[in-house]
Structure 1
Amino acid sequence: MDEKTFKQLGLWIDHNKAMLIGYQDGQAYMIETVESPVEALKREAGEGNDSTRFTPNNNHTSNNEHKKHNISQNELRDYFKILESKLQPYEDILIFGPGTAKEQIRNRLRELKSFDNKWISIQKSDKLTENQLLAFVRDFYKNESPAVR
């Protein structure tokens, strides 16, 4: 099915990947999986720990930790930019998944003028199989009434 025909979309997201699920006429369809550029562990070969040379205490960490945090934030921003372009054509967006990624992407979308007229909902869920993802989106949109919006 062509993704341009969908008006309603489910986005399952965590910091590793996002799955786009289209909904139309009572059926949910897997559209695409987007892998995240965010690396969980950033450690160069031969790199030591983050303590300074003056103390082995990790409470006194070096600037290395700040640098790693900035790299991680830049990767997360790039990931969300990719998702923004994928979400643009849809009118109703359900964002669900474990962790904090769903709140982070929702907050970012709320800041963008291009998403002002779009309906965005957020739900908590665990990691799900592909069939469970499809059922989650299908059940949500079947039970959601237009008057609630």
Structure 2
Amino acid sequence: METKQFKSVGIWLDQSKAHFIGYHEGEAQFLETLISPHERIKREEGEVSDTARFSPNPSVLSNNEYRKNNIAQNELNEYYKMLEDKIAKYDDILLFGPGTAKDQFKNRLAENKSFSKKWVSVQNSDKMTDNQLLAFVRDFYKS
């Protein structure tokens, strides 16, 4: 398979992975898949509930919840930074997929000055097969 210089890319992403699909002259081609370091459900050995042990109110939460949230946010930021590094060479960027990850990533790109001259579009889509991903990117860039 010959290597092409793609200037347009479609990225199907959620918080666990991102599929990169290059587009050039009517053809869409899979480039790579990036796996996120973010673990959705993380359980540590010996972990108990997040409520404070000696509180008379069982709804009071301990500092453990904040620590878990900070770890999750740092992992997501690392994932988005990896995505930014991968798409820096593209001029036209299509972000699509389920959930809110694509919107969060677009907002992050809007704050980054190096992406101010690039064209970024966001589309909603569900989970798709490989052929559906290629067709989605091809149809989007043709119209």
Instruction: Give the TM-score taking structure 1 as reference length.
Output: 0.91
Separation (CA, whole Å) in 1 of partners of 2:140 and 2:84:
22
- In the alignment, structure 2 segments of 5+ residues that lack a partner are none
How many pairs align? 142
Matched, 1:118 2:138: no
Distance 2:26 2:81 in 1: 30
Specify the code of the residue in structure 2 equivalent to 1:10: G
DSSP-derived class of the 2:109 partner: helix
2:86 corresponds in structure 1 to 86
Letter in 1 for 2:10: G
> 1:68 aligns to what SS in structure 2?
helix
TM-fit CA distance, 1:80: 0.4
The 1:58/1:105 distance shift into structure 2, 3 A limit, reads farther
Q: Which runs of 5+ in 1 are unaligned?
A: 144-149
Distance 1:24 1:58 in 2: 58
Change in 2 beyond 3 A, CA 1:92/1:51: same
User: Hey, what's the Cα distance between the residues in 2 that align with 1:137 and 1:56?
Assistant: 56
| 1:103 aligns to 2:95 (yes or no) | no
**Counterpart in the other structure of 1:140:** 140
User: In terms of mean alpha carbon deviation, does 61-70 or 38-47 score higher?
Assistant: 38-47
In the alignment, what sits opposite 2:19? 19
1:25-60 CA-to-partner distances (Å, cap 9, x unmatched) read 101000000000001112210111111112486521
Moved more, 39-48 or 52-61: 52-61
Q: Which amino acid aligns with 2:13?
A: I
Residue of structure 1 equivalent to 2:3: 2
In structure 2, do the counterparts of structure 1 residues 20 and 57 end up closer, same or farther at CA, with 3 Å as the change threshold? farther
| Higher mean C-alpha displacement, 133-142 vs 42-51 | 42-51
CA shift, 1:2, in A, is 2.8
Identify the range of structure 1 (51-60 vs 31-40) with the bigger mean alpha-carbon deviation: 51-60
Amino-acid identity (%): 58
* Alignment check: 8 A CA contact 1:42 1:68 kept: no
Structure 1's 64 and 121: CA in aligned 2 closer, same or farther, altered over 3 A?
same
Q: Distance in 1 between matches of 2:57 and 2:99?
A: 30
Question: d(CA) in 2 for partners of 1:67 and 1:104?
Answer: 21
What is the distance in 2 between the residues matched to 1:42 and 1:56? 28
1:61 aligns with 2:61: yes
SS at match of 1:23: strand
Contact 1:11–1:18 at 8 Å: present in 2 too?
yes
